[in-house]
Amino acid sequence: MRAWIARGQQLAERWQGTLAGAVLLLARLWVAVIFLRAGWLKFTAWDSTLYLFEFEYQVPLMPWLWAAYLGTATELLLPLFLLAGLFTRPAALLLFGFNAMAVISYPTLWAGGFYDHQLWGWMLLTLVVWGAGPLALDSWRLARGRGGH
């Protein structure tokens, strides 16, 4: 009976690692797609983007035009790092701050989209704490840095 329990525990631990990697991959892909779509929309509807940043969004500490350029670049570039699983922790941390700034800067968002932003925030924090997981370039990069291949 003990051998059966020990084998069951070993199998659960093996699956836990696989499942954790899959969950981290899902979080990376989910959040990356959300931000890429938002950035692409800003880029392809630039006149509307400029209007929103000038008159609707209330981004603190920087001029609205800088915010428009920086916000669009952030949403188009950082998700690419998440997709590749490269420099995942810093990219996720920056996107977490960006996500928080979006909520702060656009109070109208609170009525309909606040829960989405909370979900994305939790996914990003998960990536900051646990990293990209095994299915990422970070895993290869970090293993190579330790002398692995």
**Residues 15-53: tens digit of each pLDDT:** 777 889 999 999 999 999 999 999 999 999 999 999 999
Q: What pLDDT was estimated at residue 147? A: 60
- Give pLDDT < 70 ranges for the chain: 109, 145-149
Q: What pLDDT was estimated at residue 1? A: 75
Q: What are the Cα distances from residue 77, in Å, to 52, 80, 83?
A: 21, 6, 10
DSSP 52: I
DSSP 146: T
Q: Which two tokens stand for residue 65?
A: 């035009």
Q: Which two tokens stand for residue 147?
A: 């002398």
Q: What pLDDT was estimated at residue 145? A: 67
Q: What pLDDT was estimated at residue 148? A: 54
Would you say how long the chain is, in residues? Answer: 149
- Helices 88-105, 64-84: crossing angle, 10 deg rounding: 140
Query: Among 97, 130, 119, 117, which residue's Cα sits nearest to residue 25?
Result: 130
